[in-house]
Structure 1
Amino acid sequence: MAVKKGSIRHFRWFISNLAVNLIPALKRKIILYNRIIPAAEAGAADMRESTQATNFNAEEREFINYLPRQLPEQLKRKIACIEFHDKTLLGNTGALVDDNNQALISFMRSRPFVNYHDFRPEILNPVNKGEVRYFNMLGSHRGHRHLFHFLIDRMPQLYYALNLFKLAEQPLIVLINEDVPKFQRDLYRFISNDYPNVSFVEVPHNERWKVENLFHVDYYQTIKTTLADPDFLKFLKTTFMRGYGIDNNLSPTDRIYVCREDTKNRRFVNEQEIAAVFEEFGFKKILAGKLSFEEQIRTFNNAQYIAGIHGAGLTNILFSSPGARALEIFSEDHVKDTYFLLSRTLGQDYSYLFGGTQRRHSHFHLPASRLENKLRTTLSSLT
């Protein structure tokens, strides 16, 4: 039986945890705590809570019935701005710790236990920072380079800090990971232009920073984060498009097929046949990962109809117009609500299509005739 990657990581974590706690010389040099303190107890929290009815219509409920879990009738959202004093940020994992109590500080969406995402058996150089106002954008190091998770899961923290809690009314230094991709650097630069009091500083991977004044926005909601605050999505889209100088007043005309032939997982078994159908209906095939982020925004901004298999490339519907149409394609045994909720928040016309069951690497077959019928039906309303 194959051993899962996660199992190997857990085994390594168990061994390193054991070694650090048993060998005094290691324990003095390596931070690895097993105790957890909730963030609300470790700092002073300004909490905001809101509730709204989801109001799914009959057509949306038809799709929701295919989901492994039903969606609640109400969205409940908690947002807290927490001010910490004398805490330590770890550059290699992004974890926030309380050295005085030898504990990891946990947030609302955190796991209820310590594991390999929080600590690594590495010696980090201690750095003491002065009494400057810092904001924490390191978060969990895992996935911080991922387009979807950064934009949809992490960026709301900074948005709420600037627009809900008004932290930018005074000078604020935002602490970020040192190895961020270009699209993140661009976004941080655009934000600095819009908020003169805000600057960004990288925390080196091999350092741990003891910070006297640190703010962190912690938030949680009862539905996936793609059912987002519309004002946040508008902020994200406007910031990127203004920064790149993209005209947001175009009348979109393109039809694009977001292809995954350059990926290992989640592809059509009959890719050539499916691509030919899309071409027949006037769709341009794109490989989102081969485009710069600016090119992706421009492509989706001018798209009237976006179609593709469930995957991170569909995150870019964020940059399409409210009147755009999105067609998401699933295998029949792997249905997700991620982009259904995002498209709904954006006011777009969402539809879906199911293929066969998953095979190796989550590949599946989609009958070409099924796609032809779907496109013919959905395109008839655009003419």
Structure 2
Amino acid sequence: MLKKILFGLLHSAGYYFRYTSVLHHPSKKVMAGSQLLYFGEEERAFLEQSAASFNYSIDYSLGYRQKEQYLVRLQQAVLLGNSGAVVQEGRVVVESVFDVSRLAKSPAFKTPALLLPRYKKGLYTSILHLPWARNNNYHWFFDCLPRLYFVLQAVQEPIRIIMRRDLPAYQLQTLQFILADYPQAQVVFIGKHEKWEVEEFILPSFLSNAQSGFLPQSVNQWLRHKIWSGYGVQPSGNKRRIYISRANAQTRRVLNESELLPVLAKYGFEVVRAEELSYQQQVQLFFEAEAIVAPHGAGLTNLLFSEQCKVLEFHPANLIKTHYFLLCKGLGFDYTAVVGSVGDKQENYKVDVQQVEKWLEKV
């Protein structure tokens, strides 16, 4: 009895330290099977280099499996407004927070916070994923929005999508683009300090893997066309060459960018700082790009909206990330990496300008 009272007090404070899984839930409906990706020799060498920089905690050089996609229909599920996690019988459903490692890292499960209970009748779902996607376009477009694909295909009955009122403008806007053709879906807003117990909840699986922008072709084409259409993207006949600068960023800056810029200009590249553009302008810009050079960073998320382009990405030698290599793999884009010097505490580093120019000559 004492343990039950203790758990009740902890749960009323929004603190859940146990988790459960719904992978074998009787209502689980597989929407698409798993998929293996195969890599060439140069691709495997890059993936091995990346794995070594992470002490092999993630090693896609040994093989990459796109997870199966599924929907699980839960009864009397609780959704936490401070994180988007789903709770059943006092335990966090690990598939609602991506995986165990993110569950362990999330401050939403380490910091008690009063969450006021609300009971809601009807059918609900959610793609909230906090704090990861609070204002991060990478996590929004790869961890969140793709989860709606199978929900909207499979569910014809009225369904409410639980989101937060403090969504950044581009997130609310692109969510509306996605839902425009699905009259059965309606967005409802949960407060940061609320938890909703809903009569029925459809839990959609995450489609993405860690450090990967790879999406199944049907999903990435659906997402691309929805965003293109929503923003009114039009072919201009003007193919552009773009360098995405992080000169104003606090981390992952190219320290010898001043040496690099004249070389890029010689090959027709214009310098762009994504933070200076509206999201519609970013999508239109990437749609028109035939070649993109950039240090690793969230700005490369917009590769998702390129019609077709060649990509050169910079990495510090001690932190080589595979997000956009795998995104390009899914889109069929030509991808090359340049690995620079070892990064400092802010992950700033230098790149070999001659190595960059060799790639530019080929382009």
Q: TM-score range by the shorter chain?
A: 0.7 to 0.9
Per mean C-alpha deviation after superposition, the further-off stretch among 26-35 and 286-295 is 26-35
Kept in 2, the 8 Å contact 1:158–1:217? The answer is yes
Q: 1:288 & 1:253 partners in 2: Cα distance?
A: 18
Tell me the distance in 2 between the aligned counterparts of 1:244 and 1:88: 35
Look at both structures and tell me which one has the larger radius of gyration over its CA atoms: 1
Aligned AA for 1:354?
V
SS in 2 for 1:134: strand
2:262 corresponds in structure 1 to 276
Going from structure 1 to structure 2, the CA distance change for 1:245 and 1:76 (only over 3 Å counts) comes to closer
Pairing of 1:1-383 with structure 2 (within 5 A): 27=10, 29-40=12-23, 44-48=27-31, 50-68=33-51, 69-73=59-63, 75-98=65-88, 101-107=89-95, 109-111=98-100, 116-118=107-109, 120-130=111-121, 132-163=122-153, 166-167=154-155, 169-219=156-206, 225-247=212-234, 249-322=235-308, 324-376=309-361, 378-379=362-363
Distance 1:28 1:265, change over 3 A: closer
Give the SS at the match of 2:354: helix
Instruction: Identify if the C-alpha distance between structure 1 residues 41 and 87 changes in structure 2 by more than 3 Å, giving closer, same or farther.
Output: farther
SS of structure 2 residue aligned to 1:128: strand
- CA distance in 2 between counterparts of 1:106 and 1:326 reads 35
SS state at 2:28 partner: strand
Deviation digits for residues 66-118 of structure 1, max 9, x if unmatched? 221243445242222111111211111222223xx322222184217766333
Counterpart of 2:56? none
Identity within the alignment, %:
25
What is the root-mean-square deviation of aligned Cα atoms in Å? 2.7
The code of the aligned residue for 2:278 comes to: S
Q: 1:288 to 1:334 in 2, by over 3 A?
A: same
Query: Structure 2 vs 1, CA of residues 314 and 24 (structure 1 numbering), >3 Å: closer, same or farther?
Result: closer
TM-score (norm 2): 0.88
Cα deviation code 1:158-215 (max 9, x no counterpart): 112123xx11x22111111221111111112222321111111111112111100111
Could you tell me whether the CA contact under 8 Å between 1:153 and 1:225 is conserved in 2? no
The one-letter code sitting in structure 1 at the alignment partner of 2:93 is I
Task: Provide, for residues 232-271 of structure 1, a one-character-per-residue CA deviation record: whole Å limited to 9, x for no partner.
Answer: 1111111111111112x45451100000011011111122
- In the TM superposition, residue 59 of structure 1 has moved relative to its aligned partner by 3.5
Structure 1, gaps ≥5 residues long: 1-19
Distance 2:189 2:233 in 1: 28
Which whole-Å deviations, capped at 9, do the CAs of 1:270-316 have from their partners, x for residues lacking one? Answer: 22222222222211101112211111001111111100111111111
Task: Give the paired residue count.
Answer: 351
Q: Is the 8 A contact 1:176 1:200 kept in 2?
A: yes
Q: 1:21 to 1:276 in 2, by over 3 A?
A: farther
Distance of 1:367 and 1:28 partners within structure 2: 53
Q: 1:119 to 1:90 in 2, by over 3 A?
A: farther
TM-score by length of 1: 0.83
